[in-house]
Structure 1
Amino acid sequence: MRASDSDRDRVAAVLREHTAQGRITMDEFNERLEQLYQSKTYGELERLTSDLPDVDLRHRQLAKKSDKDAAKKAKTHAGVRAAWGAWAMASSINWVIWLIVSVTADHWIYPWPLWVMGPWGVVLLVSTIFGPGGSSQKR
């Protein structure tokens, strides 16, 4: 029986998985891939993987999806950390300026850095809690 392009793609995915797991070398993978795209029947496709154990590609795709989710979470987490770092740095610089001006002035100076760090901090806090990947979202 003749094989379709999707059948060849499925066997190519199996060969890639076996290469990733170290069962076949890259040279063997390339040789089998050449034979794969020259194959016309199911029998020819089956010979390419007959010496390899069965692979459940559906299970492998679930793992890849969870890997993507983990990478997305890590990226979001890094962005949130960077935003909080920028907030902390700007707030620190403003407080140092306020402190220098307060010490050198003859009178008490209103703590204006609160107006810089307060609203920005509230926005960051709300976006950290309720934003994408926030802890209060249902999964």
Structure 2
Amino acid sequence: MMMAAAPEMRASDGDRDRVAAALREHVAEGRLTLDEFNERLEQVYQSRTYGELARLTSDLPGIDLHRLPAAVEPAQGARPVRPDDKARSLRSAWTAWAGVSAMTWLFWLLAFIGSGHFVYPWPLWVMGPWGVVLLINTISGTGGQSQRRDS
């Protein structure tokens, strides 16, 4: 990590962010454990000078943050999401929602019959929010999957 010649000079937020990005890269490369990373990251944002920042990376090789790859390449054997995969995913999500909803209503019915008086219809709180999210995904066409864009 390249720092200014004067270690007593005050560091900016941008300087601290660049050191934090370099530390993240060192974790990704396996040079730092997550515990070491967390300790150093806390110290990064408490650092006031270039010298303090330099000490946090002095035992690590330099990383040119401008030469990092822009995007992660897809894993070997990965395939793009096809429309039939989305439909299958939506169908599975709705099937799970219907099955869980039916079970919760069955439990509610058994509690209602067993108690002999009205029991609050709590299954609405199980199926309602979940159903709304599924409906939004169905209408928007995402099917609960992230969209992959090839360039």
Q: TM-score, normalised by structure 1?
A: 0.48
| Higher RCO (CA-CA < 8 Å; seq separation 6+) | 2
Higher helix share: 1
Q: TM-score, normalised by structure 2?
A: 0.45
